[in-house]
Amino acid sequence: QKPIYILGIESSCDDTSAAVICNRKVLSNIVANQEVHAKYGGVVPELASRAHQQNIVPVVQQAIEQAGITKEDLSAIAFTKGPGLMGSLLVGTSFAKSLALGLDIPLIDVNHMQAHILAHFIEEEDAKIPPFPFVCLTISGGHTQIVKITNHFEMEVLGETIDDAVGEAFDKSAKILGLPYPGGPLIDKYAKQGNPKAFKFTKPRVGDLEFSFSGLKTGILYFIQKNVKENPDFIKENLYDICASIQHTIIEILMDKLKNVVKQTGIKHIAIAGGVSANSEIRKRLQQAEKHWGWTTYIPKFEYTTDNAAMIAITGYLKYLNKTYSDVSVTAQARLKV
Ligand code: KG4
Ligand code: ZN
């Protein structure tokens, strides 16, 4: 059978990414991070769309080149339709449409949140592929969801956040500590040298499968303000312990919810996805859950956790097999359900 080559394009937030896969194998996965946002302490939508506009052509060219193919070899083009920032999505959408029209090949729209989950179906040496049904905890800068996956395209959100996403909890806590955006990876790094039990923060009281992080953020803010008032060097002197304690609280919340969903559904195949699944503590805790509770856990390879186009391409591949193509009238959608 002829190999299928899919080009994936991702531009939903602040990373411009393009990837080429051959069947389920990733041949290239180029990600251009936008440095421009760091000094603003968060993503500035207008600047993000402009940077995508500058990045998209070279990033796509590089992805095709690195894959060792030519654009004429492509079987279809998959792109992120949503959810995300409208201006950012429009760049990828328009580009994907034009290229598909020019090459006269199918165009496939992809839901970014589904793609984070379907990244688990990328073929990798020693990567486990989850069997159906499985449960995925999707944790990113914009979303926090527990999803039951019945087959590649049948997904049900069993619970989600009622306010902030878990990535925001990391990033906003980091901001309170004066760390640059995005602070999640820095909290992870500093936490490795700190005591997770040094400080105690209150966990929210919400439904069994619901999340809430805005109260935690306020709690951390008050805690820091109070201590800095007494000792202006409080953050500097305790940075590692503060980061470890914040991270410990957040990960405890996530693990509690996973225990609840296993209890409710009886499903013990547990996956994580999204940017926060890069966090070393959640990865470690899931591995321990295999031993302690008999779960089988699925942890994505590091490069498929934060936003990337390989996950868009694999979703495109699965839809291609299903012949689920889009028409050229398809448009970007800032809000899009799983
Ligand atoms: O999935 P993603 O790349 O973009 C969205 O779709 O939102 O997720 C980005 C989020 C940011 O909030 C970032 O701080 C967080 O993932 N993140 C981490 C780590 N790496 C990325 N949070 C905690 N620990 C990490 N190691
Ligand atoms: Zn994402």
| Residue 167 alpha carbon to ligand 1 centre in Å | 5
Question: Are 5-120+305-321 and 129-300 the same fold in CATH?
Answer: yes
**Percentage of the chain modeled with pLDDT above 90:** 95
pLDDT value of position 202: 96
- pLDDT at residue 275 tops 90: yes
Q: Judge contact between 78 and 108, C-beta under 8 A.
A: yes
The Cα–Cα gap between 309 and 331 comes to 18
pLDDT value of position 294: 97
Q: Which ligand 1 atom is the nearest neighbour of the CA of 167?
A: 12
Ligand nearest to the CA of 280: 1
**Six token digits for residue 212:** 């809430």
- Mean residue pLDDT across the chain: 97
Longest dimension (CA), the chain: 71
Residue of 39 and 79 predicted with greater confidence: 79
Terminal-to-terminal C-alpha distance of the chain? 32
pLDDT value of position 94: 98
Does 300 contact ligand 1 (Cβ within 6 A)?
no
The stretch 114-123 carries a mean pLDDT of 98
Does 83 contact ligand 1 (Cβ within 6 A)?
no
- Residue 38 pLDDT level (bands cut at 50, 70, 90): confident
- pLDDT at residue 42 tops 90: no
Does 274 contact ligand 1 (Cβ within 6 A)?
yes
Does 182 contact ligand 1 (Cβ within 6 A)?
yes
Does the annotation list 116 as a binding residue? yes
Does 170 contact ligand 1 (Cβ within 6 A)?
yes
For the chain, the residue count is 338
Which residue's CA lies nearest to atom 16 of ligand 1? 275
Render pLDDT for 218-271 as a digit per residue (tens, 0 to 9).
999 999 999 999 999 999 999 999 999 999 999 999 999 999 999 999 999 999
The stretch 117-141 carries a mean pLDDT of 96
Does the annotation list 33 as a binding residue? no
Does 188 contact ligand 1 (Cβ within 6 A)?
yes
| Residue 291 alpha carbon to ligand 1 centre in Å | 27
* β-bridge mates for residue 335, sequence order: none
| CATH topology (fold) of 5-120+305-321 | Nucleotidyltransferase; domain 5 (3.30.420)
Does 306 contact ligand 1 (Cβ within 6 A)?
yes
Residue-range domain boundaries for the chain? 5-120+305-321, 129-300
The stretch 101-122 carries a mean pLDDT of 98
**Six token digits for residue 72:** 């004429």
| Residue 231 alpha carbon to ligand 1 centre in Å | 31
pLDDT value of position 260: 98
Does 171 contact ligand 1 (Cβ within 6 A)?
yes
Does the annotation list 171 as a binding residue? yes
Residue of 38 and 235 predicted with greater confidence: 235
- Residue 37 pLDDT level (bands cut at 50, 70, 90): confident
pLDDT value of position 34: 87
Q: Which ligand 1 atom is the nearest neighbour of the CA of 278?
A: 26
pLDDT value of position 287: 97
The stretch 124-143 carries a mean pLDDT of 95
| Residue 126 alpha carbon to ligand 2 centre in Å | 24
pLDDT value of position 258: 98
Give the C-alpha distances (Å, rounded to integers) separating 96 from 3, 20, 106, 281, 320.
21, 13, 10, 37, 15
- Which amino acid, 15? D
Nearest 10 degrees: CA dihedral of 243, 244, 245, 246? 50
The Cα–Cα gap between 264 and 130 comes to 19
Q: Judge contact between 107 and 76, C-beta under 8 A.
A: yes
The stretch 279-306 carries a mean pLDDT of 97
- pLDDT at residue 126 tops 90: no
Output the CATH code of domain 129-300.
Answer: 3.30.420.40
Render pLDDT for 169-216 as a digit per residue (tens, 0 to 9).
999 999 999 999 899 999 999 999 999 999 999 999 999 999 999 999
H-type helices in 39-140, by residue range?
45-66, 86-103, 112-118
- Residue 298 pLDDT level (bands cut at 50, 70, 90): very high
